[in-house]
Amino acid sequence: MDALDEKANGGPPMEVEEIVSVHDHEAFAAKHMPDLGHEVKDFQVFTWRLTNWKKLEKKITSPEFECGGHKWRILLFPFGNSNAPPNDTVSVYLDYADPKRAPEGWHACAQFALVISNIHDPTIYTVSHAHHRFIAEECDWGFTRFSELRKLFSVQDGHSRPTIEDESADVSVFVRVLEDPTGVLWHNFVNYDSKKETGYVGLKNQGATCYMNSLLQSLYCTRYFRKAVYQIPTEDDHPTESVPLALQRVFYHLQTSDQPVGTTELTKSFGWKSLDSFLQHDVQEFNRVLQDKLESKMKGTKAEGAIQKLFVGKMKSYIKCVNVDFESSRIEEFNDIQLNVKGMKNLYESFKDYVAVETLDGENKYMAEGYGLQEAKKGIIFQSFPPVLHLQLKRFEYDIQRDTMVKINDRHEFPFEIDLNEFLDETADRSQPWVYKLHGVLVHSGDLHGGHYFALIKPDRETRWLKFDDDRVTPVTDREVLEENYGGEVMNGMVPPMQRNQVRAMKRFTNAYMLVYIRESAIDEVLAPWKDEDTPAHLKRRLEEERLQMEAKKREREEQHLYLTAKVITDQTFSEHEGFDLATFDERNWPATDLPSFRVLKNEPYSTFKSRVAQHFNYPENQIRLWVLVNRQNKTVRPDTHIPENEPQLTVEAIRNTMAVRQQNDLRLYLDIIPDPSHPEIPPGSIMIFLKHFDIANQKLTGVGKVYVPRASKVSDLIPIINERMRWTPDTPLKLYEAGGEIKPGMIELMKPKLTFTQSEIQDGDIICFQVDMNEKELHDFEAQGMYSNPVQYYDFLQNRVMILFKPKFEETDQDHPEFHLTLSKKQNYDVMSAKVGERLNWDPIKLRFTTTHSNGTPKSVLKRSLNQSIQEIMSPTYVNPQTTVILYEKLDVSIVELETKRSLKVIWTGIHNKEESAHPFLLPKTSSVHDLAVELAKQIKLTPTGTGKIRIFEVSKDGKTQKEFTGSEMIGNIPDPVELYAEEIPQEELEADDADKVISVFHFSKEVSRTHGVPFRFVVKPGEKFSETKKRLQARIGVSDKDFAKYRFALIQAATFKQPSYIEDEDTIYDHKFAPEDVLGLDHVDKSGKTRTGAGEKAIVIRG
């Protein structure tokens, strides 16, 4: 029972409160039950008279009454619900009567007011109101602290009698059962099943990609598009490397899964690392890049042309003379239309604004070829709209005053249906009406710096509108599709007092930023019913196999507690093992040995398990014996006892619990092969010893099997046995060491040959390490080469060895920049590491620079060679679970000694014609000036023989529109890193410009001002010069052929307006424009450099795959 202690009758003291009687049901409800904006299905009032209040039971219920097809009653605790001491309150609730008889999955949405009133004067009362979704788990709702008892029994200010008089009172409930057309009103979404309720599932949110989710859902519901994506052949692709396959998989999972679908594979296939996903790109750019990508993959397949057919329309920009028959026009294709929101009341007005005609007259007349200056009309008209129309509402714009992007939350209405006929050229094909139906609304809630995205989609004519909000899909009302996403003031006026809370105030930041309309005549084709054969068989097959694998894995996880893993060490694995013990199990800096493993039911009899092992290793059962390994006190893991063969009841779990004490979840075993099965017993009084050979020449430690020796024999008795096994001459002198003695696993000590094994405290499973004995000189020679001369030193190396992964810092991995592991000792230092990496890369170690990394793999800090730290210090203690240490390397052209006092810079030379001609690396003392850099650059480039001979070094501004020039005196050591430097030859024209001329900035962009490319430059504008002349000088300045230059368009970009760029005509004189410092000239042409910049400091979206 939830407490909602609201008091609704305490207005400001000066207000004269209108007195309402509880008996006046309509007026009472109007005063105390605010309109929640939902349709009322039924309204009932029920009153229950109570007498002898003080003698009432602790908990009582009223008779039942009906409202909205449900049975209700009042639940009253006259002295408070004992769950809420002190016992001096009244608790009262609305209770759903007999929920057990209600149909399964029932719910009722009710708004209600509970009232206790005086039986003689119904204007004296105490009231509280609430609303709730009544369900089986929450079938009563109301007020635990409805009122203090003493207040109800005493006369309150302004009244002549108490609420409860003579121990009698009326308890009433006013109930409005509300319509719940979507079935999810006030739903808490615990155990909500999107698939069951709507037939659709959501997408998981992967960080700042929710506009991606809303767009993907919209594209998925565009069934013609989904079908086309499915037609791209992807049988041989890998999902994280192929965008089409990853998208097919997302679509298939949306189609078949009953759980929300992940998009990690898809973003991986774009080549996005998680960081990129978080750089919030805009949906339009994302959509274009995705479609370009798919379009190129559709070439030559059944799907070719599908994107063009679905999403591409045509528009015409024109200038038409009024008094003579002359028109200049160009036709362009578009994938989406960007419409203004600011100052526009609705979508129709935004379209009118888009095709608005501008009159060129007076000083602004147009120079028409062959006709001279003419009055003209300038504008855009549509030639055709695509079947699926994507409209981008410009909710995000640049605000010059604040010098930042802002979100426009103005109200902007859009309809379920719009006729676009009037925006089409008279030549357009009108055989079918140009009526469009709303299919999708993509919504952004919040401000510029984040917020939340979701989509509202009507998947086809029959299906209702649905809200796709990341992992949840819910039905919505028409009001939630339109009204709630227009933006602007909330609820058009006063917010009722009960709702003056944050949730409502936020509403105004929730509005549509993209609309999807489908042409009515194309709906049946675009949203055609989905047929089974539309899903490619290869995809079904592949994903069905994966699903079965996943289910098997899930089953395996669920049944995990019934199984344990048995790991088996064999003589083969022992011989390949380089390290302590017989195998590595859980060492911090070294991977575990890959051992043959068996998944065994805990209650499996040992005999069954043994025969499985025998079969696996191809031995008759009577030829094998299994030993259990235990963790000894000194942390070594050694065979302890062999498993008895004669106990039929023995299970695998019993073995683990009784024989392998202090063991992990797995059972660790040693496979002992019996040489002569007719005499399987171990000779009495003998122990099993494992042997390891330390090969000094090859610096290797290898297992060479085991031997049984009598406890009482001498250590030196092993020597002939070893020589025979190694096929050495019988008198080869050996030194023997006990490995991993009683102290700790890394310990190893020389054994005394004359002692017995018992005296040497050797037991079953111990390891003895041997090496050929050499004279001092030979040993000294090995040590002089930096080699270990005995197992003691080698064991010390093992104790300290670590595996480090080296990766290139800036390059993608390739032949020259491989990714590789090296084994080093923590005791070694920087110099040894750089020498080993240099050897591996075939590169001078002094020209390698290393950078440590954070645990997520990003660069941390550059290692200084001068410190010559140990590997232990370089690895620095990570308190998280130690994963592999990753160190990044750079192959430099200069020694790092030099680099520590010098600055390495790269300058891109753009010459006299603003072309990226060449890149020049420099390494200069940090104290050099930018002027010194220019002097050095001049030695490497060719200047125009008759030119100015002057070089300008500059950076490009963040938005890509202007140059940031250096004065020349700056020290290069102080230029912040990273930096992109450019240099150009200053043209004669600029140097000779006089006071009357203006020098302006010019930049390159493609279609949209934010899609800048190339390098901005400076240009002289002369007074009185028509643009037709200015253009010729521009062409000469940037050195572009006539053929290419004919495709250029020129626009004046004013920072101070929200307007689209104003394109310049030949007759204009741009000198006459009053240039504000940020105003620039833009050259609109296709980017051939492939180096698009996007928006201020944003990365352009690149989708690889």
Separation CA 642–CA 655 (nearest Å): 10
Coil, strand or helix: which one is 153?
Answer: helix
75 strand-pairing partners: 61, 93
* C-beta neighbour count of 601 within 10 angstroms: 15
Q: Do β-strands 472-475 and 466-469 pair in parallel, antiparallel, or remain unpaired? A: antiparallel
**Where do the H-state alpha helices sit in 231-282?**
243-256, 264-269, 274-278
Q: Which two tokens stand for residue 502?
A: 């944050």
The enclosing H or E element of 659 equals helix 652-659
Contact predicate 523/438, CB 8 Å: no
End-to-end CA distance of the chain: 55
- Judged by phi (left if over 0) then psi (alpha if -120 to 50, else beta), residue 662 lies in left
| H or E, element range at 229 | helix 223-230
SS (H, E, C) 47-91: EEEECCHHHCCCCEECCCEEECCEEEEEEEECCCCCCCCCCCEEE
Distance CA 499, CA 494 (A): 10
Non-local (6+) Cβ contacts of 889 within 8 A are 806, 807, 808, 809, 837, 841, 848, 849, 850, 851
Looking at this protein, which amino acid is placed at residue 582? L
DSSP 959: T
Nearest-angstrom CA–CA distance, 133 and 185: 7
Report the predicted TM-score, pTM, of the whole model to 2 decimal places.
0.58
Rounded to whole angstroms, the Cα distance separating 726 from 772 reads 11
Give the position of tokens 């994903």: 543
Beta bridge partner(s), residue 178 = 40
Rounded CA separation 12/27 (Å): 21
* Nearest-angstrom CA–CA distance, 737 and 734: 10
Note whether 708 and 763 are within 8 A (CB): no
CA distance 148 to 164: 12
CA atoms 830, 836, 838, 844: torsion sign: positive
Nearest-angstrom CA–CA distance, 1020 and 1036: 12
d(CA 635, CA 740): 9
Q: Are strands 70-77 and 885-891 parallel, antiparallel or unpaired?
A: unpaired
Nearest-CA neighbor of 170 among 275, 292, 61, 48? 48
The backbone torsions φ and ψ at residue 956, rounded to the nearest 5 degrees and listed phi first, read -100, 135
Q: What are phi and psi of 675, to 5 degrees?
A: -65, -40
Convert the pLDDT of each residue in 599-613 to its tens digit. Answer: 888 888 988 999 999
Q: Return the axis-axis angle of helices 210-221 and 283-298, rounded to nearest 10°.
A: 50
Can you point out the beta strands (E) in 788-917?
A: 801-808, 820-825, 848-853, 859-862, 885-891, 902-909
Pairing of strands 417-419, 404-407: unpaired
Which of the residues in the chain have pLDDT under 50?
1-16, 274-278, 280, 491-507, 742-743, 879-881, 1058, 1094-1101, 1104-1105
Q: At residue 836, what is the residue type?
A: K
- Please report which residue ranges of 582-647 form alpha helices under DSSP H: 606-616
Helices 283-298, 243-256: inter-axial angle, 10-degree rounding: 110
**Is residue 442 within 8 Å of residue 215, measured between CB atoms?**
yes
**Token pair 């990714």 is at which residue?**
819
pLDDT recorded at residue 740: 66
Beta bridge partners of 419: 435
Tell me which residue of 111, 96, 90 sits closest to 174, measured CA to CA: 111
Q: What does the alpha-carbon distance between residue 277 and residue 206 come to, in Å, rounded to a whole number?
A: 8
Q: What is the spatial distance between Cα 693 and Cα 576, in angstroms, rounded to a whole number?
A: 12
Structure tokens at 36: 């929640």
CA nearest 507: which of 486, 525, 523? 486
Distance CA 596, CA 618 (A): 13
Output the pLDDT for position 564.
86
Q: What is the pLDDT of residue 452?
A: 80
Give the span between the Cα atoms of 113 and 914, in whole angstroms.
Answer: 75
The H helix count followed by the E strand count for the chain is: 28, 51
The CA-CA-CA angle for residues 156, 161, 163, to 5°, reads: 75
Q: In 3-state terms, what secondary structure has residue 474?
A: strand
Token pair of 173, please? 């409930």
Q: Are 1067 and 1027 in contact (CB under 8 A)?
A: yes
Cα Rg of the chain, angstroms: 41
Per this entry, what is the length of the chain?
1105
Mind listing the pLDDT tens digit for each residue in 701-723?
889 989 999 999 999 999 999 99
Alpha-carbon distance values, 43 to 26, 32, 63 (Å): 10, 14, 18
Q: Which residues are catalytic?
A: 210, 452
Tokens encoding 1016? 């901005």
- Give the type of residue at 289: V
d(CA 366, CA 375): 6
Strands 388-394 and 336-340, sheet pairing: parallel
The DSSP call for residue 193 is: -
Q: Which residue has the tokens 């068989």?
A: 537
pLDDT at 771: 92
Which parts of 257-356 fold into alpha helices (H)?
264-269, 274-278, 283-298, 306-311, 347-354
The reported pLDDT for the residue numbered 880 is: 47
Give which of 917, 1015, 1013 is closest to 963, Cα–Cα.
1015
Q: Which 8-state DSSP code applies to residue 666?
A: S
Distance (Å) of CA 797 to CA 578, 587, 788, 826, 1030: 12, 14, 9, 8, 75
Structure tokens at 599: 């998944």
pLDDT, residue 954, reads 93
Distance CA 643, CA 568 (A): 13
Evaluate whether 905 touches 982 at the Cβ level (below 8 Å): no
* Buried/exposed 856-880: b ≥16 CB within 10 Å, e otherwise: eeeeeebbebeeebbbeebbeeeee
Residue 944 phi, psi (nearest 5): -65, 130
